[in-house]
């Protein structure tokens, strides 16, 4: 095995979509490796047979690839004509379930060297002991009963095929973690018991697998969430028992919701359940689910819906689900660039000034890969501020060229908003691009900006207030100007945005009024509202015929409103 100067890894368990917190961990691991000129390894921790799934694994790989967090080694994935992953150092496989022999070899060694031992208690027995400990308010610790069994008997029982777990004999000494972010953290031996390294089902526990794999894959730096800090002394003990080197550790602070709660996938279900109750819905409003399952889901606080069902439900309820998984952010129309930038900044700071003296906050993946350093890592937990992310995202969208925006928007729509993609093809979206780009914070927002073009000419809902203000108020000058300009439109051959703008300007001048006097009635007439993209673009998107239709329809609607008064 060849060991590079720096090898980091991201090791998700394939039990669901990639959580946004996981994405940040992966991003910083990636950045750390890139900066050091090392390698970033992806490993799949699928030792929990009951919860792991191949589809989750695939989803996580795709999410990472979409973000642009490319792994040098690991499971292979074809993405946009590129192959990610591979095994150039021959350290695979990268699925823990395929590495059982490796783990068992090491476990056997530990047992032979009397550093680990089989234990025969059933989960039920241990649970009883644990409950007793809680009842008497003493901390629970495994009582080492497995060690009481004479060695020969242990061997005999194992050989006889009796179900057992294997536990590590924890050393009776304090263990210090030298953490790159938090400094030295020492934990006393009383805090640990002989934890399980192999389960009854023969699979290693996370602790054993992670230590063996990190060592065998040559991992030099482990960057992970702070929830693992207490595990690290266990891992160090395991490394010492196995004769492995201890890698450098860095435990980064966790990310929370703005209200301080954990960012959990369940938040989505929670919100949906609340909306269902508020709206008094009693039977399943979506086809893919029957009433029975719906009721069961509603009743059980911990019950989670499949992603597709949840999305369908949210649509019916008219609610926006909170984004928690990378997949949610993709669907909502965030750009990887903005998401990565925001994520990196959540807990890491480049500590660099821009030329104008402000702090550097906006940077891309190249910058991260060439400037990331542990020195910039913060220690405090942070809250996920969607509003700031939205700001990053709108800026990233606005900075796109029209061509790129149209391409990205179209691809997004094909995948997440087919209705939109049907109404506007890629060329139409290019026409829309200048109008939409600066007006949407996410790709999903784009729909709202061009909403006026999505309804049929005879289906426009006129905003009474806007109609009144622009067309009726005063001496009906608004309506007169509108009808006057209708003739101009009819005579136009070139119906481009520029030509329209010019025509409006010329017409206003000829009538001796300000541009607004012509523009607003026109805007209200064709969109139904007082707000829309610039007139040239608005009319251009609709096309000449549609504009004339809408002006006529508006005229009728004004007469009917006037009659009512």
Partner RNA sequence: GGCCCCAUCGUCUAGCCAGGUCCAGGACACCAGGUUUUCAUCCUGGUAACGCGGGUUCAAAUCCCGCUGGGGUCACCA
Q: Give 287-304 as a DSSP string.
A: TTS-HHHHHHHHH-TT--
Residue 310: what are its φ and ψ, rounded to 5°? -65, -40
Beta carbon nearer to RNA, 153 or 359? 359
- State yes or no: residue 506 binds RNA (CB under 7 A): no
Least CB distance to RNA at residue 249 (A) = 12
3-state secondary structure of 198: strand
Decide: is 105 part of the binding site for RNA (CB under 7 A). Answer: no
Comparison of 149 and 311: residue with beta carbon closer to RNA: 149
Per CB under 7 A, does 403 bind RNA? no
Instruction: List binders of RNA among 533-552 (CB under 7 A).
Output: 533-536
Using the contact rule CB under 7 A, the part of the chain among 70-78, 134-142, 308-316, 363-371 near RNA is: 134-142
**Under rule CB under 7 A, residue 95 binds RNA:** no
**What SS3 string covers 456-505?**
CHHHCCCCHHHHHHHHHCCCCHHHHHHHHHHHHHHHCCCCCHHHHHHHHH
Number of residues located near RNA, criterion CB under 7 A: 84
Q: Which is nearer to RNA, 4 or 230 (CB)?
A: 230
Q: For the CA atoms of the chain, what is the radius of gyration? A: 31
User: Looking at 103-111, 188-196, 285-293, 419-427, which segment touches RNA (CB under 7 A)?
Assistant: 188-196
Q: How far apart are CB 215 and RNA at their closest, in Å?
A: 16
Q: In Å, what is the CA distance from 416 to each residue of 210, 347, 367, 435?
A: 37, 31, 30, 21
Which residue among 51, 108, 178, 545 contacts RNA (CB under 7 A)? 51
According to the binding rule CB under 7 A, does residue 373 interact with RNA? no
Per CB under 7 A, 380 contacts RNA: yes
Residue-wise burial string across 345-380, b where 16 or more C-beta atoms lie within 10 A, e elsewhere: bbbbebeeeeeeeeeeeebebebbeebbebeebeee
**Closest approach of Cβ 226 to RNA, in Å?**
6
Residues 218-257 that bind RNA (CB under 7 A): 226-231, 253-254, 256
Of 113, 148, 282, 359, which lies in the binding site for RNA, with binding defined by CB under 7 A? 359
Reference 389, options 24, 16, 10; nearest CA is: 24
Residue 509 interacts with RNA (CB under 7 A): yes or no: no
Q: Which is nearer to RNA, 140 or 367 (CB)?
A: 140
The answer to the question of residue 178 lying near RNA (CB under 7 A) is no
Residue 503 buriedness (CB in 10 A; 0-12 / 13-18 / 19+) = buried
Choose among 488, 472, 476: nearest CA to 561.
472
Phi/psi of residue 325, nearest 5 degrees? -95, 160
Check binding of 161 to RNA (CB under 7 A): no
Query: Mask of contacts with RNA, 406-445, x by CB under 7 A?
Result: --------------------------------xx------
Calculate ∠ Cα 368-216-199, nearest 5°. Answer: 110
Among 79, 140, 244, 416, binds RNA (CB under 7 A): 140
Burial-class residue 464 by CB neighbours within 10 Å (0-12, 13-18, 19+). exposed
State the minimum distance, in angstroms, from the CB of residue 228 to RNA.
6
Residue holding tokens 């399952």?
A: 293
Q: Which of the ranges 70-78, 182-190, 304-312, 481-489 carries the binding residues for RNA, by CB under 7 A?
A: 182-190
Among 4, 102, 147, 182, binds RNA (CB under 7 A): 182
| Binder among 1, 160, 387, 487 for RNA (CB under 7 A) | 387
260 lies in the site for RNA, by CB under 7 A: yes
| Contacting RNA within 322-351 (CB under 7 A) | 345-347, 349, 351
| Residue 523 engages RNA in binding (rule: CB under 7 A) | yes
Neighbours of 527 (CB within 10 A): 26
Q: Which is nearer to RNA, 166 or 421 (CB)?
A: 166
For position 482 contacting RNA by CB under 7 A, the verdict is no
* Residue 388 touching RNA (CB under 7 A): yes
The answer for residues whose C-beta is within 8 angstroms of residue 201's C-beta and 6 or more apart is 49
Residue 308 Cβ, how far from RNA at the closest point, in Å?
24
258/451 with CB nearer RNA: 258
49-52 long-range contacts (CB < 8 A, ≥24 apart) are 49/97, 49/201, 49/203, 51/13, 51/15, 52/13, 52/14, 52/15, 52/97
Closest CA to 40 of 2, 86, 78: 86
Burial class of residue 316 (count of CB atoms within 10 Å of its CB; 0-12, 13-18, 19+): middle
Q: Which of 2, 80, 137, 564 binds RNA (CB under 7 A)?
A: 137
Contact of 92 with 213, CB cutoff 8 Å: no
Q: Does 501 bind RNA (CB under 7 A)?
A: yes
| Least gap, CB of 75 to RNA (angstroms) | 15
As measured in angstroms, the least distance from the Cβ of 297 to RNA is: 21
**Which among 163, 347, 176 is positioned nearest to 255, based on CA atoms?**
347
Q: Could you say which residues in the range 285-314 bind RNA, by CB under 7 A?
A: none
Contact 368, 36 (CB under 8 A): no
Q: Quick check: 367 binds RNA (CB under 7 A)?
A: no
Is residue 358 a contact residue for RNA (CB under 7 A)? yes
CB closer to RNA out of 108 and 379: 379
Are the C-beta atoms of residues 223 and 250 closer than 8 Å to each other? yes
Residue 110 and residue 241 in contact, taking contact as beta carbons nearer than 8 Å:
yes
Confirm if 225 and 251 have CB atoms less than 8 A apart.
yes
List 261, 279, 283, 373, residue binding RNA (CB under 7 A): 261
Among positions 296, 398, 455, 513, the unique one binding RNA when judged by CB under 7 A: 398
48 near RNA, rule: CB under 7 A: yes
Interface with RNA in residues 113-132 (CB under 7 A): 121-123, 126, 130
Which residue in the block uniquely carries the two structure tokens 């979509």? Answer: 17
CB 286 within 8 A of CB 309: yes
């Amino acid at each position: 095995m060849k060991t590079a100067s720096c090898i980091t890894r991201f090791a998700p368990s394939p039990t669901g979509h990639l959580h946004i917190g996981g994405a940040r961990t992966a991003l910083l691991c990636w950045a750390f490796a890139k900066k050091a000129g090392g390698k970033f390894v992806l490993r799949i921790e699928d030792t929990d047979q009951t919860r792991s799934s191949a589809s989750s694994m695939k989803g996580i790989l795709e999410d990472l690839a979409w973000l642009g967090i490319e792994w040098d080694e690991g499971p292979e994935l074809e993405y946009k004509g590129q192959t990610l992953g591979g095994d150039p150092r021959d350290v695979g496989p990268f699925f823990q379930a395929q590495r059982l022999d490796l783990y068992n070899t090491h476990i056997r060694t530990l047992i032979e060297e009397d550093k680990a031992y089989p234990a025969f208690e059933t989960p039920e027995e241990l649970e009883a002991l644990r409950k007793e400990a809680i009842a008497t308010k003493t901390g629970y610790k495994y009582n080492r009963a497995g060690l009481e069994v004479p060695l020969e008997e242990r061997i005999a029982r194992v050989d006889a095929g009796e179900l057992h777990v294997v536990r590590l004999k924890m050393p009776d000494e304090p263990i210090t973690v030298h953490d790159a972010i938090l400094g030295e953290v020492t934990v006393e031996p009383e805090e640990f018991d002989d934890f399980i390294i192999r389960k009854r089902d023969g699979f290693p526990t996370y602790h054993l697998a992670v230590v063996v794999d990190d060592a065998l894959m040559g991992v030099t730096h482990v960057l992970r969430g702070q929830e693992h800090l207490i595990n690290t002394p266990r891992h160090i003990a395991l490394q010492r028992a196995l004769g492995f080197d201890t890698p450098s550790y860095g435990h980064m602070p966790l990310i929370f919701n703005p209200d301080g709660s954990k960012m959990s996938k369940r938040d989505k279900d929670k919100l949906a359940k609340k909306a269902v109750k508020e709206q008094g819905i009693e039977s399943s409003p979506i086809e893919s689910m029957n009433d029975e399952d719906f009721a069961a889901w509603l009743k059980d606080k911990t019950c989670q819906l499949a992603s597709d069902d949840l999305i369908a439900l949210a649509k019916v309820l008219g609610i926006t689900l909170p984004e928690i998984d990378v997949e949610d952010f993709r669907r909502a129309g965030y750009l990887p660039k903005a998401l990565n930038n925001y994520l990196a900044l959540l807990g890491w700071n480049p500590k660099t000034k821009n030329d104008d003296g402000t702090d550097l906050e906006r940077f891309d993946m190249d910058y991260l890969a060439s400037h990331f350093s542990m020195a910039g890592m913060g220690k405090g937990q942070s809250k996920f501020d969607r509003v700031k992310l939205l700001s990053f995202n709108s800026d990233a969208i606005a900075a796109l060229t029209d061509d790129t925006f149209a391409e990205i928007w179209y691809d997004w729509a094909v995948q997440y908003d087919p209705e939109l993609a049907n109404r506007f093809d890629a060329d139409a979206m290019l026409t829309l691009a200048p109008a939409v780009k600066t007006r949407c914070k996410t790709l999903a927002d784009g729909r709202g900006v061009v909403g006026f073009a999505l309804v049929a000419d005879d289906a426009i809902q006129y905003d009474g207030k806007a109609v009144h203000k622009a067309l009726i108020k005063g001496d009906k000058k608004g309506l007169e100007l509108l009808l006057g300009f209708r003739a101009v439109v009819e005579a136009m051959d070139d119906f481009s945005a520029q030509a329209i703008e010019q025509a409006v300007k010329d017409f206003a001048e000829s009538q001796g009024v300000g541009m607004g006097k012509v523009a607003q009635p026109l805007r209200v007439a064709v969109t139904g509202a007082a707000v829309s993209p610039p007139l040239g673009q608005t009319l251009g998107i609709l096309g000449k015929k549609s504009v004339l239709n809408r002006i006529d329809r508006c005229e009728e609607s004004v007469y009917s409103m006037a009659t009512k008064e």
